[in-house]
Amino acid sequence: MAEQPVDAAIAALVAASRRSAVGRRLQGDIETRLLQSIVDATARLFDAEAASIALFEPDPDRLEFRVAAGEKGAGAIGLAVPPTQGIVGYVYSTGQPLALSDVGNDPRFNRDAAEQTGYVPRSIAAAPLFDEHGTLGVLQVLDKRSSPTFSLRDMELLGVFARAETRVESLRLAPGESLVCFTDGVTERREGTRMLGEDGVVTVLTGAAAMSAGRLARRLETAVSAFTQAPARDDVAILVLRADPAGEPVRPRPPAG
């Protein structure tokens, strides 16, 4: 994997999992779009056949695959499995990431569930997703195209989620409102002793409430780049979610970097 695309994809993952106070209880389509942006970035990052997120749901207790990406991922959406069974159940119940290069010979592998999706993987990497109450789900990656195994570096990337101090809240955007999420590379942009900071971000976005999600992201990205001529010392990723007053779909902007 080239270093620059990897850094950009990592930034997208961190932006979605750490910096935003957004999570699984977002209302309606916004929740799904956020989760979808995570698996889309994950599938690109690993050049994987599929990536998916399963979230815990009660009554009855189960792990439900909410979103998926990649050529082989679509069949997983809607599948529900017990929270203690299979690879996904093991990762959820133990809170530990796991990588397997030959899943067919692992006794934890739930072949029946895999066959229901229409795709039986050869290798799997999975990491738990946390909020302040504990494990809320599992991010799973199937079959890198470039390698039959997942490396230690790969598991470190998935560990972004396992280590993230994610804060999960409910949030409803009214029509015309936007949510702007960004990594530390935005607020910590420096010119000498000056730092852009959160106040600087507010100043940049003041008066821009009517802009589309894409224009908001470009406005902030331009301001970050113009703040100093020095090379960036940290990844910069910007994610804007907008409740469009016309009801048009919101399309996540690719990460900057």
User: Cα separation of 4 and 7, whole Å?
Assistant: 5
Assigned domain for 251 exists:
no
Same domain for 90 and 140?
Answer: yes
Given a cut of 50, the residues of the chain with pLDDT beneath it are 1-3, 18-28, 164-168, 249-250, 252-257
Q: What is the pLDDT of residue 51?
A: 93
Q: What is the pLDDT of residue 208?
A: 87
Q: What is the pLDDT of residue 14?
A: 52
- Number of helices (H) and strands (E) in the chain: give both, helices first: 8, 10
Q: What is the pLDDT of residue 30?
A: 63
Assigned domain for 200 exists:
yes
Q: Domains in the chain: how many in total?
A: 2
Please give the residue range of the domain that contains residue 156: 22-163
| Tens digits of residue pLDDT in 234-253 | 778 888 888 877 655 445 44
Q: What is the pLDDT of residue 172?
A: 72
Assigned domain for 190 exists:
yes
Closest to 33 (Cα-Cα) out of 8, 16, 11: 16
Partners of 48 in the beta sheet? Answer: 144
Q: What is the pLDDT of residue 12?
A: 56
User: Cα separation of 21 and 110, whole Å?
Assistant: 33
Assigned domain for 7 exists:
no
Same domain for 131 and 91?
Answer: yes
User: Cα separation of 64 and 57, whole Å?
Assistant: 7
* pTM metric for this prediction: 0.59
Assigned domain for 1 exists:
no
| Tens digits of residue pLDDT in 41-55 | 888 888 999 999 999
Q: What is the pLDDT of residue 163?
A: 54
Domain of 123: which CATH number? 3.30.450.40
Q: Are 148 and 101 in contact (CB under 8 A)?
A: yes
Q: Which two tokens stand for residue 22?
A: 């957004």
